Amino acid sequence: MNEDRPIAPEWNRVYGEIVYWITFVACLICFIGPMFSMLFPENNAMNPYFTYALVFEGMTGSDIWIALYGEWPWFHYVWWNNFFTGDGFTMFGVALGTTVALWALIPTMFVFARHKLPQYVLFSAIVCFMVVLAASGIIRIG
């Protein structure tokens, strides 16, 4: 059956493919990381027993991070320093998945520029800047 469907613009295809594959990889990482945490509980960045004790004491998320690491984890340094631990690897998957818009917008900006769409390049750059600010911990809710 031959369908005459319109083809999506190149920038939509580029952005969509990158978001799809990075999200898929991030999901796999977040599936595999906890398995390593359970198989090797001594090889974790956070002691799960100590962490759960803090949760059940009623501490907030920020207070727990400070109790575990001494300060708020700016720019994702916790998973960077603990990449080869189960929870560090899982944190990397979460960081990758939550910043997928940044990784997809960067090549999409080049496609916009090639098609001479400067307003979209500028808007994409602003969104990238906002994602970097949010991912760095500079902008936080709560």
Find out whether 99 and 136 touch, Cβ atoms under 8 Å: no
Average pLDDT of the residues in 22-44: 91
Report the predicted TM-score, pTM, of the whole model to 2 decimal places: 0.79
Task: Give the range with max mean pLDDT: 74-78, 127-131, 137-141.
Answer: 127-131
Residue 85: CB atoms within 10 A of its CB come to: 20
Cα–Cα distance list, 46 to 5, 18, 80 (Å)? 51, 31, 14
Residue 113: CB atoms within 10 A of its CB come to: 13
Q: Which helix (H) or strand (E) holds 35?
A: helix 10-39
pLDDT at residue number 5: 84
pLDDT at residue number 80: 81
Residues 21 and 91: their CA atoms lie apart, in Å, by: 18
C-alpha closest to that of 96 among 35, 47, 38, 26: 26
What is the per-residue pLDDT across 41-80, written as a single tens digit (0 to 9) for each? Answer: 788 877 777 888 888 999 988 888 888 777 766 667 778 8
Residues 42 and 124: their CA atoms lie apart, in Å, by: 42
Average pLDDT of the residues in 107-125: 97
Q: Is the pLDDT of residue 128 over 70?
A: yes
pLDDT at residue number 38: 84
What is the overall mean pLDDT for the chain? 87
Q: Which residues neighbour 57 within 8 Å (Cβ) at sequence distance 6 or greater? A: none
pLDDT at residue number 142: 60
